Amino acid sequence: MASHEVDMSNSNPNRLPLQQQPSLPWRITSSVVMGLTAALSRTFLYGLNSVEVTGLERLLQVLDQRKDVEKRQRGLITVSNHVSVLDDPLIWGVLPFSYAFNPSNHRWGLGAHDICYKNKLLASFFYAGQVLPTHRLKHSHHGGLFQPTVQQAIRLLSSPPEPTLSEGSHDDISDPFTSGDMTFTTTGTDLYVSPSIYARNRHSWVHVFPEACVHQHPRMSMRYFKWGVSRMILESEPIPDVLPMFIDGPQRVMPEDRGFPRFLPRFPVRFRVAFGELLDSEQKFGDLRARWQELVRKEERKKKKDTAQASALGELTDELKYGREAVDLRIEVARRVREEVAKVRRSMGYPEEEPGFELAETWAREPNKDRFKSDVDDSLVNKRE
């Protein structure tokens, strides 16, 4: 897409300087898209509905500390339940308007490729809105935990190593963080600029809906959390901050059992958004990351027997993808993240969840359909949105 192009006239795969920021036209486009979307979301929330927000000052304090890109020490992950196709961007309408037109201090999201990227116009809009194209395995063989978009999210959360001069040269800059990639593809035919090549995107904010599908439960219970968030916590460098949150209300704007006209939002409804405490990531996940890093070191030692080249950030061997200990670590990270979101849920007064809802095997008996009423918890599920 022309709007995503970067100047590569003076670069090759071995000579990739870290760019400071995208072009001015692109920055303006992104600011306008994100600012106007935030304005519309905030107008809809507060103009047509009732809104109750708890703990917003916790997120604002974090964002205020992250305004200066050069002073950021680590990335930020916010994580929440997923109740409607409109969760993002509606939930960010609770942010004061002053936060709207600053993409470098706003969230990156993961958007379904079959919805957000179905044509060039939508793709340009959502990419400008900092939504990464994400394939869902149910709908595309390009999907899954190890697709390039997850690697992009990990790099956005991280800080690249300092570029080093290649031997015998004073102007050729090699950056192993990008592994020679200024662009990435999700299908082999599409092409996007890697947002992590820009210095202003280091230590970014990424929002994740780990349920990975719309789940509308009458008592606001959650499904199990998938492992994309586990990869981000285990593999990002340094370990990112994590802030849990819980949302209630968008499911009444777009209920799964709505009739004609299905595409129109319903209002007025009551919105509730609660932000939890910023986690001490080292205390919560440090033991798991130490085990992960030991696994990585073992794999790197094996790899060096065959090649001197180290793996780039987010690139994994088969053992790190599918090995038993790697899988167990992702399961445990996802469980701990879900428990933190569940704490925020409980603080809002919702009843205790059924035991076992946090386990993937609990949901294995659900039908293989896009939209259905779950026979596990009577929720309305939409795996298309």
For 214-251, write each residue's pLDDT tens digit.
999 999 999 999 999 999 999 999 999 999 999 999 99
For residue 154, pLDDT beyond 80: yes
Q: What are phi and psi for residue 77, nearest 5 degrees?
A: -115, 125
CA separation for the pair 350, 218 (Å, rounded): 10
3 versus 240: the higher-pLDDT residue is 240
Percentage with pLDDT > 90 across the chain: 77
For residue 306, pLDDT beyond 90: no
Residue 12, pLDDT score: 36
**Average pLDDT score over residue span 41-52:** 97
For residue 308, pLDDT beyond 80: no
Q: Tens of pLDDT along 175-224? A: 434 444 689 999 999 999 999 999 899 999 999 999 999 999 999 999 99
**Average pLDDT score over residue span 37-60:** 97
Residue 1, pLDDT score: 41
Q: Give all domains of the chain, ordered by start, each with its CATH number.
A: 2-286+338-382 (3.40.1130)
Neighbours of 303 (CB within 10 A): 14
**Average pLDDT score over residue span 91-109:** 96
Exposed/middle/buried for residue 182 (C-beta within 10 Å: 0-12, 13-18, 19+) = middle
Exposed/middle/buried for residue 239 (C-beta within 10 Å: 0-12, 13-18, 19+) = buried
Residue 19, pLDDT score: 76
- As a whole number, the mean pLDDT across the chain is 89
For residue 173, pLDDT beyond 70: no
Residue 21, pLDDT score: 87
On whether the CB atoms of residues 372 and 366 are closer than 8 A, the answer is: yes
CA separation for the pair 180, 163 (Å, rounded): 12
Q: What share of the chain is helix, strand, coil (3-state, %, to 5)?
A: 40, 15, 45
